[in-house]
Chain A
Amino acid sequence: MKLDVRYVLRSYGILIAFILICIVMTILSPVFLTVTNVLNVIRQSSIYGIMAIGMTFVILTGGIDLSVGSILAISGAIAAGSLKGGVGFLPVVLLTLAVGVGCGLANGVLITLGRITPFVVTLGMMSIARGLTLIYTKGYPISGFSGPFRFIGGGDVLSIPFPIIVFIVTVVVAWLILTQTRLGRYTYAIGGNEETVKLSGINANRYKTIVYMISGLAAAVSALILTSRINSAEPVSGTGYELDVIAAVVIGGTSLMGGRGSVWGTLVGALMIGVINNGMNLLGISAYFQLVVKGVIIIGAVLLDRLRQEQR
């Protein structure tokens, strides 16, 4: 199938805003449009960008996952702990991903079979996973790794930072899944009308569970990058990440009601947040202001989307 032009078009408004901000930044700061800085921005964005791609699946079904920050913390802590315990590189990676997927599975099962709303289940999971992280780490960071693990967050391939490559691969794979596979089409369909999906002979609960597993998996991937990059697993890492992650998805034009949105939008949303953080740092604007600006942009993006909807 050809690239779905409408979904790309829907992201245009925000894409134009993004480009404008980049132009303004280039004018205001000589550092902004340098290779080092651009790679830096994308690398920073990749951590929550990857999580935002996972979150896009969840939000497309009309759900929400508040537990991603805590899932990042627990999988990062377990990665760090097992590395310290002498487990090999590959088993550690697999174990970490399994922890993320497992948390997502628990979310999905509670939401579908337990029939509890996603907000409540993932709010609970947010607390449980954070608590388990603190228990596991006894509240102390686990730091100091060596060998191939450091490559995940710090390595380069052809002078492109490895996290960026992971991010790009995530986006492309997610796009393929959403447009070219059953899971993808059912994800949109469930967000559009779950009852219709069920009456069409589709096991909606199975696919709903899978999207939470994807979100958990994405959080675990980000955990590997973050833990490797800062050479430490902090018990409080990922705190508040769910907000930036959801913001990236929403800025990207994905509807919180489900059924409408795309990974390209999320990609732009994630980069937008990255550019704003970076830009304001470059301009020496205080972190307090940054929060305000970020909030304005989230609301502005949705407002823009709403206006475009109503023009029809």
Chain B
Amino acid sequence: MKTSLRLGLLAGFAFLTLAIMPLVGRQVLPVSVLSQFGGSDPVAIIFWQIRVPRALAAFIGGAGLALGGAVFQAVFRNPLATPYILGVASGASLGVALASRLGLSLAVLGLATNSIAAFAGALVAVGALWLLTRLRPEFSSTTLLLAGVAMNFFFSSLILFAQYTASLGDSYRIVRWLMGGLGGVDLNTVLHMTPVVAVGAIVVMWRSRELDLLATGAEIAAARGVAVAPTRTLLFLATSVMIGGVVAACGPVGFVGMMAPHICRLLVGPNHRTLLPASLLFGGAFLLLCDTAARLVLFPAELPVGVITAFLGAPFFLWLLIRQASAPISR
């Protein structure tokens, strides 16, 4: 099957998911609700004010996490490298934990304290990684990966410290936030995260050719004419903005960033001009499906979506890897 056809099918799948999932819930809503935008009917309110913003946030969040993963996997030349694994998510979480623990109130521009704190934490974590690549350009991608994992543990220990010394209420809030979830999402959240994810997505897609080359190695990339250091800086910045925006909205959701680009590589091949749009679509649809499951599994209670992503994602991922080993998908 041609790559463009596969990409088209993926787009169709993502669109269908986005169209159908808001209708699905304990109460399956009639399609006629689509025409009742702004209506005061309870069904219209559930659909337009609760489920649609939540579906959009899930889709945009998943898309951002998947793109961030694809970028890190190319820059670090390792399929395990994602912002989540390299401490960006835990940096963001630390921001939130500290803000809760210290009782900070950072609300500006209509953004919640948690959003600002998560954003700042993500920036600090990516900044540290970026600084490392600048100070030690000769570091291999494996060394950088190890450094990122070490940073992840460092942030995690600080989070544990903040949590351990917090009151029971604060401690619970931190844990709950760390599990990731879209329960508190409203239209405002969507309005806040959309521009940052969109800007990040456009920047990384604009740098597709550079990502192709960086994935073959920094030296080859430089030899082909890529200005490696400034390109990395730009990509790190775009990713941290994107991930910061997503984590601020829905907490640190794991696994999407690692799995989505990997699956898309099996589907559409490794060229970033198709891999990035595919990851965006797949990551978005995947998180939306997981969030729908999270709403339904323990109804009326809600499961944190992070529980679902790894629970569904890991076995699927293993199945794909095993299948790939026996019958490689031709490209």
| A and B interact | no
